[in-house]
Chain A
Amino acid sequence: MKVRWTSARIARETLFYLLLTAFGLVMFLPFEWALSTSFQPDKDIFTIPLHWFPAHFTFAHYVKAFTTVPFGRYFLNSFILAISGVATNLFFGSLAGYAFARMVFRGRQAMFRILLTSMMVPGVVTLIPTFIIIRSFPLIGGNNLFGQGGFGLLNTYWAVILPGAAGAFAVFMMRQFFMTLPTDLGEAAKIDGCGEFRIFWNIYLPLCKPALATLGVFTFQAGWNSFLWPLIVFTNGQLATVQMGLQAFSYNHNTDFGPLMAASIVVMLPLVLIFIYAQKYMTQGIAFSGTK
């Protein structure tokens, strides 16, 4: 069907793009400020009227950011932690989410309720008990069978990877998406003698690409941006993350804005690239061939 470009339609579409652009400018405003701050010398940063674009252009803040803090090592650490988070959450989250959405077993409702309820416990109070669990993990890091004597998983990547490996958020999100898929696909496959795991892996999981891409972006970003927990369990500077590196530019109530903005922008870049890449899958329509 061909679209007819009547003048009313052109007016409507122009308005549509104008609204999107206006709203987009509001969303972009803080980044504009951060970008222009990162490129202008200190004396120009806080002036009236405000400089929307740098009057004097400089790369000094970028150079300072990357020579004062060992960001190379921090990037590697954050990358390992974020990638592990994505792999475990996508696999365990969709496996459990699928079972909760599509399989029949005793205790399904009760287990899911407990999982959902756990998301409502404010995170601040479980910090200390979780720290104690990490420190007293048995038979690791000098600990005996009862978790005494050593440091357990502290100062290892596991201290961050394990607690975040299969979040209730991932299970809940995947379950909600599996529930929207038609049931007859799996039933037909079962009649053909297809095993449970293959029905999940070969039939339903490929249909979840938009949800998987979304969850992948979320978990990568959660790992990349996590700050407080790594700060608590990593006392060894070799394991520090990019967010801990950013902190180096604020001393007490004094913030070194230029280098902080420069470093923040570079730290954000991998997330922007991943989002742009994942978008292809996020909005991939699902073809329900052979159902109706």
Chain B
Amino acid sequence: MVKPSRSEVLTEPRERTMRVSRLNAHESRMAYLFVSPAMLLFFIFALLPAVAALLLSFTNYDILNPPQWTGLVNYARILQDQVFQQTLGNILYYVVLYIPFMITLSLLVALALNRKMPGMKFFRTIYYLPVISSPVAASTVWMWLFNQNYGVINQILSLFGINGPNWLFDVNSAMVAIVIVTIWQGLGGNMIIYLAGLQGIPEYLYEAATLDGANKWQMFRYIIWPSLRTTTFFVTTTSFIGAFQLFDQAYVMTQGGPGNSTLTPVYNIYNNGFEQLQMGYASAQAFTLFVIIIIVSMINLRVNREQNLV
């Protein structure tokens, strides 16, 4: 609901309705003007390609020849496709590991680095460095760090008497290694979104809470966490969307192996579409994944209890 503005309260009822509707008409004209550049670009370069891909999902299309309409054949094939079903299982496992660690760590780091202490700028830069590195170059480096014999990680573990696994070539640890790399690379981004969100909390809220004798935990629970609601919704939504589309790291570090244990849906879609030139089937797979992401985002929306948000 829109709060009545002050001008509505101050003027006579009849005149008010007229002025308000004129004001609203003007406001909505301006609003259309404000959103039109973004929406126009969005329409041409996001919506149109998405609709085209949806149509392709009902066809047989090898890029070289014109598409042939096949109805629901591609979707029927998905129900039989055990590899694709396995990739969905893999990505769920990945998301369950990745999201809680990611959100907790990025919020903790942001809270720590939001303190007005010396050296915070330096630590922010260090924590942000991984975000800046290109995924392909970074994954190449991590492959060496994870190497069973030469790798730094196992050498460090051996200092503590731990015999590290053959990270990227073991069914049990390959996905964990990818979780580690993607958290390493994504943490800094969410950290600075949370930092920007923390700057938006007005000083007087902290002051009021201090006057009321709130301790650190109460300050977080009743001031910071509620004030970060819109930020958390943004961070969780974009993290879920990104996590379900995991590709780069799996492509460079494990090629989906060992034994398909790190094969992700997008990887499978890429193989079917660009290696096997089955664009129709790849599109159908993509829309299946799309529906799953939407369902998860709706659940996330409920969890964040954001009424009026979407």
- Measuring CB to CB, which residues of chain A are less than 8 angstroms from any residue of chain B? 13, 16-17, 20, 23-24, 26-31, 33-34, 46, 48-50, 92-93, 95-96, 98-100, 103-106, 108-109, 111-126, 128-130, 132-133, 162-163, 165-166, 168-173, 176-177, 179-181, 183, 187-188, 190-191, 196-197, 200, 210-211, 213-214, 217-218, 221, 225, 227, 243, 246-247, 255, 260-261, 264, 267-268, 271-272, 275-276, 279, 282-286, 288, 291-292
Q: Which 7 A-B pairs have the closest CB atoms?
A: A129-B49, A105-B28, A129-B52, A96-B38, A99-B34, A105-B31, A126-B49
Chain B: CB-nearest residue to A284: B199
Residue pair A275, B128 in contact (C-beta under 8 Å):
yes
Apart from A17-B119, A122-B265, 19 more pairs, CB < 8 Å: A27-B129, A31-B133, A46-B150, A96-B34, A118-B47, A120-B294, A122-B266, A124-B282, A125-B273, A125-B287, A126-B53, A128-B63, A166-B38, A196-B34, A210-B200, A225-B132, A282-B192, A282-B199, A292-B204
With a CB–CB cut-off of 8 A, which chain B residues contact A26? 184
Shortest beta-carbon distance from A22 to chain B in Å:
11
Name the contact of B131 in the complex, choosing from A100, A221, A264 (C-beta under 8 A): A221
Q: Is B166's beta carbon under 8 Å from chain A?
A: no
Q: Which of B18-57 touch A at CB < 8 Å?
A: 24, 26-28, 30-32, 34-35, 37-39, 41-42, 44-50, 52-53, 56
Interface string of B119-154 (1 = CB under 8 A from A): 101011111111111111110111011000110100
By a CB distance below 8 angstroms, the chain B residues around A27 are 126-127, 129-130, 184, 187-188
Known: A20-B123, A276-B125, A292-B204. A124 touches B286 (CB 8 A): yes
Q: Is B81 an interface residue (CB 8 A)?
A: no
Smallest beta-carbon distance A118→chain B, Å: 5
Evaluate whether A124 and B270 lie within 8 angstroms (CB atoms) in the complex, with A48-B149, A118-B47 already known: yes
Answer yes or no: B99 CB below 8 A from chain A CBs: no
Return 25 A-B CB contacts under 8 Å, by A number.
A17-B119, A20-B123, A23-B127, A27-B129, A30-B142, A33-B144, A96-B34, A96-B35, A121-B46, A121-B286, A121-B290, A122-B244, A122-B286, A124-B282, A125-B56, A126-B50, A163-B41, A166-B41, A211-B196, A221-B131, A260-B137, A268-B133, A271-B132, A279-B121, A282-B192
Q: Which residue of A lies closest to B199 (CB)?
A: A210
**What's the Cα separation between A276 and B125 when bound, in Å?**
7
Nearest CB in chain B to that of A17: its residue: B119
Contact B196 A105 (CB under 8 A): no
How many A-B contacts are there with CB distance less than 8 Å? 276
Residue of A nearest to B32 (CB): A105
Contact B290 A93 (CB under 8 A): no
Taken together as a complex, chains A and B put the C-alpha atoms of A260 and B135 apart, in Å, by 14
Bound CA span A79–B279, Å: 34
Contact A246 B134 (CB under 8 A): yes
Minimum C-beta distance from A136 to chain B (A): 11
Contact: A279 with B124, CB < 8 Å? yes
CB within 8 A of B195: which of A100, A123, A176, A282? Answer: A282
Tell me if B173 counts as interface (CB < 8 A to partner A): no
Q: Summarize B's interface: helix, strand, loop or mixed.
A: helix
Of all chain A residues, which has the CB nearest B50?
A121
Among residues of A, the one whose C-beta sits closest to the C-beta of B3 is: A183
Is B74 an interface residue, CB under 8 A from the partner?
no
B86 within 8 A of A: no
**A133 partner residues in chain B, CB cutoff 8 A:** 44-45, 48-49
* Minimum C-beta distance from B82 to chain A (A): 20
Contacts of B39 in A (CB 8 A): 96, 111, 115
Closest Cβ of chain B: how far from A131's Cβ, in Å?
Answer: 9
Min CB gap B229→A, angstroms: 9
Q: Which residue of A lies closest to B129 (CB)?
A: A31
Is there an interface contact between A118 and B46, defined as CB atoms closer than 8 Å? Answer: yes
Q: Are A129 and B48 in contact (CB under 8 A)?
A: yes
Q: Which residue of A lies closest to B265 (CB)?
A: A122
Partner of A260, one of B140, B187, B195: B140
Q: Are A114 and B47 closer than 8 Å at their CB atoms?
A: yes
Q: List residues 94-136 of chain B with CB under 8 A from any CB of chain A.
A: 109, 112-114, 117, 119, 121, 123-136
Considering the chains assembled together, what is the distance between the CA atoms of A92 and B5 in angstroms? Answer: 27
Q: A-facing mask of B269-310, CB < 8 A → 1, else 0?
A: 110011000010011001101100110010000000000001
CB <8 Å contact, A30 and B145: yes
Contacts of B200 in A (CB 8 A): 177, 180-181, 210-211, 286
Whether B129 and A120, one on each chain, are in contact in the complex, defined by CB atoms closer than 8 angstroms, is: no
Whether B6 pairs with A187 at a CB distance below 8 angstroms is yes
Given A285-B199, A285-B203, A29-B145 contact (CB < 8 Å): yes
Q: What residue in chain B is nearest A123 (Cβ atoms)?
A: B245
Q: Given the interface contacts A93-B38, A103-B30, A129-B49, does A34 sit within 8 Å of B141 by beta carbon?
A: yes
Collect the chain B residues with CB atoms within 8 Å of residue A173's CB. Answer: 193, 234
What's the Cα separation between A179 and B294 when bound, in Å? 23
User: Taking A29-B152, A176-B231 as contacts, is the C-beta distance between A103 and B129 under 8 angstroms?
Assistant: no
